[in-house]
């Protein structure tokens, strides 16, 4: 699971904060940590952190996904966020989003981007993430689950091995961008600052190569539809709504960088057991009135089989009895929860005259009890 800090905490806002409050919080922090103003060594890292938080929380779709699944799938937090930043940066007198980040972080390269152009300015675009929903039972939660699944996706073309060129031919290097897939443009914003921007090469569409004879299978894209078998290993104790990320198992982009596979977990409701917090399970046991009055030993189902419980004489209706250690594993920690057995009383709907007479006699004897 992700070790990143909560985006709302980073910006110092509540989860219910509106867009203007989020923008105001980011503007204040950006002024404080912008590397042009703050020369502290930690400023760039802090500026990266608050900018990533703002990129997600200022976008309705990204924010909704973050609120539901957390940091999973947010590696492309900045993609498509230019409009959200432009207004903030220009209000502060720093220029546009693209210019600021390329000036500070080298146009999509270096430590900030970990080698990928997450802003989408250059040609190194990450492929689309694939969401795979996996349904589990409580038995799966107890033991974990290993399964090989078929995942449809766009992958590397088997015919041309991803080159995009017809078998027996080769692509040639684009002379316009010298095989870099992007071209640079240098301009001055004012007499004190010069900016270098990059954009995908229009001649080769950002690939760095010219394909004269495209592959007939993928039509020069280097990618084709395929179904890949992927082994999933779900640990014990997982909960409804959790998501796991398999890096590089998503769709391949046109620049050859794969997205990720996000496995979302759904736990089916169980007809016998209700799942409680901390690994506990609840089972409703219906007994006769005489079992409570006289005491009894009864076998009850658990997630692993039958267990005997003792109902002591005088046990009250709705009492909770405990079968220790017969709940579910606790995800991320040792130990298991307990199974709680809630006692309910079965009241007969039809009685014979003799049964009614016996109950009336008992009722009289218990009047002063």
pLDDT digits (tens, 9 = 90+) for 51-84: 888 888 988 878 887 887 776 555 455 555 554 5
pLDDT tier at 166, thresholds 50, 70, 90: very high
Is 191 among the domain residues?
Answer: no
Would residue 182 count as lying in a domain? no
Q: Are 6 and 94 part of one and the same domain?
A: yes
pLDDT at residue 207 in the model? 78
**CB 32, CB 97: distance < 8 Å:** no
The proportion of the chain whose per-residue pLDDT surpasses 70, expressed as a percent, equals 80
pTM of the model: 0.57
189 located within any domain: no
Q: What CATH number is associated with residue 76?
A: 1.10.287.110
* Residue 293 and residue 240 share a domain: no
Last residue in a domain, options 92, 120, 148:
120
Mean pLDDT of the 274-302 span: 93
Q: Is the pLDDT of residue 113 over 80?
A: no
Give the largest CA-CA distance in the chain. Answer: 107
Please enumerate in sequence order all residues whose Cβ is within 8 A of that of 325, keeping only pairs 6 or more positions apart, or say none.
336, 338
B/e letters for 238-255, b = 16+ CB within 10 Å, e = fewer, are beeebbbbbeebbbbbbb
Highest mean pLDDT (candidates 28-32, 179-183, 255-259, 308-312)? 308-312
Q: CB count, 10 Å around CB of 147?
A: 11
Q: How many CB atoms lie within 10 A of CB 150?
A: 9
Given a contact cutoff of 8 angstroms between Cβ atoms, the answer to whether 261 and 235 are in contact is no
Residues 109-136 have a mean pLDDT of: 61
In the predicted structure, residue 288 carries a pLDDT above the cut 60: yes
- Residue after which a domain boundary falls, among 246, 268, 290: 268
* 68 and 143 co-located in one domain: no
Question: Is 200 within a domain?
Answer: no
Tell me, yes or no, whether 289 and 319 share the same domain. yes
Residue 115 pLDDT greater than 50, yes or no: no
Residue 163 is part of a domain; what is its CATH number?
2.60.260.20
Say what the pLDDT of residue 189 is. 56
Buried b (16+ CB within 10 A) or exposed e, 277-311: eebbbbbebebeeebbeeebeeebebbeeeeebeb
Residue 229 Cα to chain centre, angstroms? 21
User: With contact defined as beta carbons under 8 Å apart, do 211 and 198 qualify?
Assistant: no
Q: What is the pLDDT of residues 255-282, one digit of tens each?
A: 678 889 999 999 999 999 999 999 999 9
Q: Are residues 337 and 326 in the same domain?
A: yes
Q: Are residues 68 and 126 in the same domain?
A: no
The predicted pLDDT at position 124 comes to 56
Task: Classify residue 185: in a domain, yes or no.
Answer: no
- Using CB atoms within 10 Å of the CB of residue 81, give its burial: 0 to 12 exposed, 13 to 18 middle, 19+ buried: buried
Per-residue pLDDT, averaged over 329-358, amounts to 90
Indicate whether 99 pLDDT > 60: no
Cα separation of the two ends of the chain: 59
**pLDDT (mean) for 104-118:** 41
Is the pLDDT at 361 greater than 60? The verdict is yes
Q: Is residue 177 part of a domain?
A: no
Residue 183 forms part of a structural domain: no
pLDDT tier, 363 (very low <50, low <70, confident <90, very high otherwise): confident
| Whether residue 111 has pLDDT greater than 80 | no
Angstrom distance (rounded) from CA 30 to CA 48: 10
pLDDT tens-digit readout, 229-250: 999 999 999 999 898 889 889 9
pLDDT of residue 204: 84
- Closest by CA to 97, choosing from 121, 73, 115, 75, is 121
**Both tokens assigned to 304:** 């692993």
Average pLDDT, the chain: 82
96-107 mean pLDDT: 51
Q: What pLDDT, on the 0 to 100 scale, is given for residue 13?
A: 93
pLDDT band at 110 (very low <50, low <70, confident <90, very high): very low
How many structural domains compose the chain?
3
In a shared domain, residues 227 and 101:
no
The residue-averaged pLDDT of 156-183 equals 88
Instruction: Confirm if 160 and 209 have CB atoms less than 8 A apart.
Output: no
If asked whether residues 81 and 92 sit together in one domain, one would say yes
The parent domain of residue 305 ranges over 273-365
Question: Which pLDDT belongs to residue 116?
Answer: 41
pLDDT value of position 148: 94
Q: Based on the domain organization, do 130 and 258 belong to the same domain?
A: yes
137 and 30 inside one domain:
no
Question: Is residue 312 one of the residues assigned to a domain?
Answer: yes
Residue 236 shares a structural domain with residue 310: no
Residues 67 and 129 placed together within one structural domain of the fold? no
């Amino acid at each position: 699971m992700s070790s990143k800090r909560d985006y709302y905490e980073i910006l110092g806002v509540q989860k219910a904060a509106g867009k203007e409050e989020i923008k105001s919080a980011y503007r204040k922090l950006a002024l404080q940590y912008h590397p042009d103003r703050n020369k502290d060594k930690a400023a760039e890292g802090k500026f990266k952190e608050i900018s990533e938080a703002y990129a997600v929380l200022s976008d309705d779709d990204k924010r909704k996904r973050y609120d539901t699944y957390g940091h999973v799938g947010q590696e492309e937090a900045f993609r498509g966020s230019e409009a959200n930043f432009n207004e903030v940066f220009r209000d502060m007198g720093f220029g546009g989003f693209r210019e600021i980040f390329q000036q500070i972080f080298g146009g999509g390269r270096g430590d900030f981007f970990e080698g990928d152009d997450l802003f989408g300015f250059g040609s190194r675009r990450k492929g689309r993430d694939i969401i795979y929903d996996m349904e589990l039972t409580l038995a799966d939660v107890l033991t974990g689950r290993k399964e090989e699944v078929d995942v449809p996706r766009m992958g590397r073309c088997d015919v041309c091995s991803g080159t995009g060129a017809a078998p027996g031919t080769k692509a040639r290097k684009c002379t316009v961008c010298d095989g870099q897939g992007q071209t640079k443009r240098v301009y001055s914003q004012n007499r004190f600052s010069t900016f270098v921007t990059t954009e995908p090469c229009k001649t080769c569409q950002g690939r760095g190569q010219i394909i004269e004879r495209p592959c007939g299978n993928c039509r020069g894209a280097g990618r084709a539809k395929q179904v890949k078998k992927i082994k999933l290993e779900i640990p014990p104790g997982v909960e409804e709504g959790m998501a796991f990320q398999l890096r590089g198992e998503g769709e391949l982009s046109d620049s050859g960088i794969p997205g990720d596979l996000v496995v979302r977990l759904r736990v089916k409701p169980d007809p016998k057991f209700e799942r409680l917090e901390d690994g506990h399970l609840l089972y409703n046991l219906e007994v006769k009135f005489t079992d409570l009055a006289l005491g009894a030993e009864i076998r009850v189902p658990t997630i692993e089989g039958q267990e005997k419980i003792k109902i002591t004489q005088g046990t009250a209706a709705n009492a909770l009895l405990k079968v220790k250690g017969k709940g579910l594993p606790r995800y991320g920690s040792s130990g298991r929860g307990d199974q709680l057995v809630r006692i309910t009383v079965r009241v007969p709907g039809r009685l014979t005259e003799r049964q009614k007479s016996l109950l009336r006699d008992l009722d009289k004897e218990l009047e002063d009890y």
